[in-house]
Structure 1
Amino acid sequence: MSIRDTVTGVQHVGIPTTDLEGTIAYYERLGFECLGIYPNGEDRCTFLRLNNLTLEVWTMNPTPMENGAINHFALDSTDI
C-alpha cells in the first residue's frame, strides 16, 4: 500500500502568528470564516475555513519563523 492509496486530501495547514486578531481579520477579508478562538496552553488558536481549506492559526511569542511561514500541514487519510 502506498500513500496514494490512503491520503484523501489536506486536513489543515498550520500557521503560527504573534497577532491572532490581525491574522483573523486578514483571512476574513479574503473570505475565510473564523470558527472560534480557543485556549492553547498559555496561548490561543483558531481555525479559519474557506470552502474545503482549513487553516489552524495559533499565537506564539516570539514566532520562531519568518513572516508567512507554514509550520505544518496535516493530511486526511483512510488508514494510518
Structure 2
Amino acid sequence: MKPHINITAIQHIGIPVTNIGDSQTFYERLGFTKAMLAGFMDGGRPGTCVMMRRGEMLLELYQLPEPQLQEVRNRKNGHIDHIAFNVENIDEAFAEIKRTGFNIIEPEPVLLQFWAKGCRYFNITGPDGERLEFNQIL
C-alpha cells in the first residue's frame, strides 16, 4: 500500500563524528555556517549536535557519548547515519506510515529540544537497514 505523506524536502543528512569542534571547523571551511547547537542524552549520557547550513543544505553533525563514540572512532571509513525528510505534520505522517505497514523504530514521535521550539521525529528502516527519519521542526 502506498502511503500519502506530505514530504516537502530532504531536511538533513545525519553524520556521526568523533570530534564535534573539528567537524564544525571542517564544514565551515566548505562554506557551511552553524545553524543550531544543542545537547542530547543517549543512554543516560550527554552528546552534542550541531546543524550546519549552506543555502538550502543542512547537515546534522553529532558526537555520541562513550562507549558509542568509540564505535565511531573504530570505523575504517565514514558513513552517513540517516536521511531526514521534512514533513508538515509529524502526527499525520506517523499515522500514515503505521497504517501502511512500514517498520517504525520508535513507538511514537520523539521530541528533541533542537531549534527554537523543538522538533519531533521518528524513523523507519529500509530494506537494507538504512534509516529514514521523518522530522517536523516546531
Comparing 50-59 with 32-41, greater Cα deviation is found at 32-41
CA positional deviation for 1:31: 0.4
Describe the superposition over 1:5-32 as per-residue Cα deviations: whole angstroms up to 9, x where unpaired.
7322101100001111110001000000
Give the alignment's TM-score, normalised by structure 2. 0.50
Distance in 2 (CA, whole Å) between partners of 1:47 and 1:4 is 28
Structure 2 runs not aligned, ≥5 long: 94-138
Structure 1 runs not aligned, ≥5 long: none
Question: Is 1:52 aligned to 2:56, yes or no?
Answer: yes
Structure-2 residue corresponding to 1:67: 77
Q: Between Structure 1 and Structure 2, how many residues are aligned?
A: 80
CA positional deviation for 1:2: 4.7
- The alignment's C-alpha RMSD in Å is 2.3
Q: Which 4+ stretches in 1 moved above 4 angstroms?
A: 1-5
Q: Greater relative contact order: 1 or 2 (C-alpha under 8 angstroms, separation 6 or more)?
A: 1
Distance in 2 (CA, whole Å) between partners of 1:66 and 1:7 is 34
Identity %: 29
Distance in 1 (CA, whole Å) between partners of 2:82 and 2:6 is 19
CA positional deviation for 1:67: 3.4
Structure possessing the higher radius of gyration over alpha carbons: 2
